[in-house]
Structure 1
Amino acid sequence: MVDYRIFELGDFVLQCRKTLRKARLAYKTYGTLNADKSNAIVYPTWYSGQHYENEWLIGPGKALDPDKYFIIIPNMFGNGLSSSPSNTPAPWNGPRFPNVTAYDNVRAQHRLVTELFGIDKLALVTGWSMGALQTYHWAAMYPDMVPRILPFQGSAKCSRHNFVFLEGAKAALQADAAFADGWYASPPTKGLRAFGRVYAGWGLSQTFYRIEADLTHMGYASLEDFLVGFWEGLFYTRDANNLLAMLWTWQNGDISANEIFNGDFKAALGAIKADAILMPASTDLYFPPEDNAIEAAAMPKADLRVIDTWWGHFAGGPGTSPDDIAVLDAALKELLAR
């Protein structure tokens, strides 16, 4: 059963100067928009995730409480619900799907928020991982519209080290002969499983594996059980071209790479007016706290709060570490109360 709606963008010209014909932005809302339209929160999706995989942070009594707020989850281009390689008709299907930036995603989301809902100011933008990348873009691109942001386990620009990690995952996927340069007749399952195994060494910390948290906290019977059941399982059902499209978006993430800031990263950070709490995880292997510290120093109102955790990148989501999520939820409540 479809539990989301489609916002028709029409012919949407991207930064790469290619046009997404009849572009579609899938979204879901939670709660009710109040009379003065002041209670809206935008909560973008993460790498490969779809709106329902954001729902662990939403609920009565939580910071993202649908009884108080109108929460909008827009699905990223490439995630299989919004315009993606897997659902775009020829000739832009599969590996011909154009390169989409985070800037493109947020421009489309801005149209959804302003044109469909008539909202001119948000209460908050927040997101995990690539959702954090989009959060930074919202604040830099529309500073007068975004009074608060809380990006967690993500950054405003893909670091060179992060880029290299993604090259490894991409190479593993593309090495499957069945991938056929993106024109596969059936899913390249060996490549998708290899992709998950590369990810397994990065998404969680060394301490996570040292203390055998896959067994004690996640209920797996062995390391191999975890590698197959969790990591291969996470990507096995995803479309390969969709993964690669979003991977390109991630690798080229940069809030200054647009006509507003012309590559001046410090100026883009300085343009953010939002009251911000940046929440990296102490053991995140591809979004280390050092990157967020650099960002916070260039932002007018940023508070850097490192979550002390052995969960690595998964400290904030998707619902794997209750203790860390409680810290995140408390920070969201504090920020919304300001």
Structure 2
Amino acid sequence: MIRRLASGFIARLSLSLLSLLPSALLCSTANAADYPGYRQADWIAPSFTFHTGETLNNLKLHYATAGDPANPAVLLLHGTYRSGADMVGKDFAGEMLGAGQALDASKYFLIMPDAIGVGKSSKPSDGLRAKFPQYNYADMVLAQYRLVTEGLGIKHLRLVMGNSMGGMQTWMWGEMYPTMMDGLVPMASQPIEMASRNWMMRRMLVESIKQDPAWNGGNYTTQPPSLRLANTMFGIATAGGTLAYQSLAPTRAQADKIVDDRLNAPVTADANDFIYQWGSSADFNAMPNLARIQVPVLAINSADDERNPPETGTMVAALKQLKNAELLLIPASAETRGHGTTSFSKFYARQVGAFLKTLPQR
């Protein structure tokens, strides 16, 4: 079943969504230490073969878990250049992982890996730089699967849920391992081919760094200045939300302050890592194998998502190919953040909880 939220109902539905949330949750915070059994660890794949045929020995995947391994397992996947730590940040976890919430860590075993190329997992900046194997989303999903099955001994997942890049990988999980889970919740994503503005802006982000002489083919001694500028431009152009920016920066002075704050923020990224992270999406296309998905899908997007604009109709057309799929489209408002909206579980926590209750047990 596909549920579309008609544009004429946007204002009313925005209020309705927020009204579902207790006021105490709207200001809640989260701390990883608050969740039972929370721990971080590394799993090493003695040998890992990438889609290019390249092989890397001792590939490291860093991950965090919370809860009892005897409970139903849930895999939570982060967005591009982020890490598994996002999933225990207050914006997501504060209204999802606590007692009585949709993914209560006392009732589920939560698995939150750092993808290849980010966080504390193996990445170019560890030493190989631009000689690091070229990875794509299929490589990331394979590594996650090996971590879950070989590293943690988990044979089945109650749910796979991911945001942005993690959302695209959630579609792939349903295709590559169709009987491995009971349900899928891809967010801020579509199964369609990486194209249009979404790819054009990613391509420009990568090219901005590669064409900077300071990048020096990946052999720089200090981070290229283009990294800061390109990242700031990309962030403003493809995330944040039109109504939100109008509310936050209705004057030039306020707009300048946002730009200045972002330009003056410390650069913690590495240029080679950054190029690999964004370039890894180039060949993403879940459409050809969409029919392999066998489990119910709750897709969550926002109406103001700059990278996945709902007005194209591509998402609705794709979901019609699935037997059991529903689209929750979060209405745009000054409170949403465009592509970043789904980082805030207050907009959909109740719906995820309801979705979980409908899933059949395998």
User: Normalising to structure 1: TM-score of the pair?
Assistant: 0.85
* 1:298 aligns to 2:321 (yes or no): yes
Q: Find the aligned partners of 2:155 and 2:116 in 1 and give their Cα distance.
A: 23
Q: Which of the pair has the greater relative contact order for Cα pairs under 8 Å at 6+ separation?
A: 2
Provide the secondary structure at the position in 2 that maps to 1:280: strand
SS at match of 1:316: helix
One of 97, 110, 131 as aligned partner of 1:71: 110
Contact 2:79 2:164 in 1 (8 A): yes
Contact 1:80 1:86 in 2 (8 A): no
Q: How does 1:1-338 map to 2 (within 5 A)?
A: 4-34=40-70, 37=71, 39-56=72-89, 57-58=92-93, 59-61=97-99, 62-87=101-126, 89=127, 93-161=128-196, 162-211=198-247, 213=248, 222-230=254-262, 233=265, 236-255=267-286, 265-266=287-288, 268-289=289-310, 290-310=313-333, 311-317=337-343, 319=344, 325-338=345-358
CA 1:228–1:125: 2 relative to 1, 3 Å: farther
How many pairs are equivalent? 308
Cα offset, 1:99, TM superposition: 1.4
Pairwise CA distance, 1:54? 2.2
Structure of higher CA gyration radius: 2
SS for the counterpart of 2:356 is: helix
Q: Which amino acid aligns with 1:223?
A: A
Q: In 1, distance between residues paired with 2:264 and 2:314? A: 29
Q: Structure 1 residues 274, 230: CA separation in 2 closer, same or farther (over 3 Å shift)?
A: farther
Q: Tell me which amino acid in the other structure corresponds to 2:351.
A: A
Cα distance in 2 for partners of 1:275, 1:97 equals 37
Query: Could you report, residue by residue, the CA deviation over 1:225-284 in whole angstroms, capped at 9, with x for unpaired residues?
Result: 222334764x821111111111111222223xxxxxxxxx34x11110111111111111
CA deviation profile, 1:275-315 (whole Å, cap 9, x unmatched): 11111111111122333213211122111121112421011
Query: Are the structure 2 counterparts of residues 179 and 111 from structure 1 closer, same or farther at C-alpha, using a change threshold of 3 Å?
Result: same
Q: Give TM-score scaled by structure 2 length.
A: 0.79
Letter in 1 for 2:61: L
Q: RMSD between aligned alpha carbons?
A: 2.2
| Deviations 1:91-137, CA, capped at 9 Å, x for gaps | xx111222112111111111111122222211100011001011111
Distance 1:278 1:284 in 2: 14
Partners of 2:125 and 2:270 within 8 A in 1: yes
| Shift in alpha-carbon separation, 1:25–1:120, aligned structure 2, 3 A | same
The answer to whether the 8 A contact 1:179-1:191 is kept is no
State the identity as a percent.
24
147-156 vs 195-204, which deviates more?
195-204
Match in the other structure for 1:259: none
Q: Which runs of 4+ in 1 moved over 3 A?
A: 230-233
2:162 aligned counterpart, secondary structure: strand
For the residues of structure 1 that align with 2:249 and 2:40, how far apart are their CA atoms?
33
- AA matched with 1:53: D
Number of the residue aligned with 2:31: none
Contact 1:143 1:271 in 2 (8 A): yes
Residue type of the alignment partner of 1:43: L
Task: Pick closer, same or farther for the CA change 1:121–1:49 going to 2, 3 Å.
Answer: same
2:283 and 2:119 map into 1 onto residues whose CA distance is 20
Q: Letter of the 1:270 partner, please give it.
A: A
Partner SS for 1:122: coil
Q: Distance in 1 between matches of 2:263 and 2:159?
A: 32
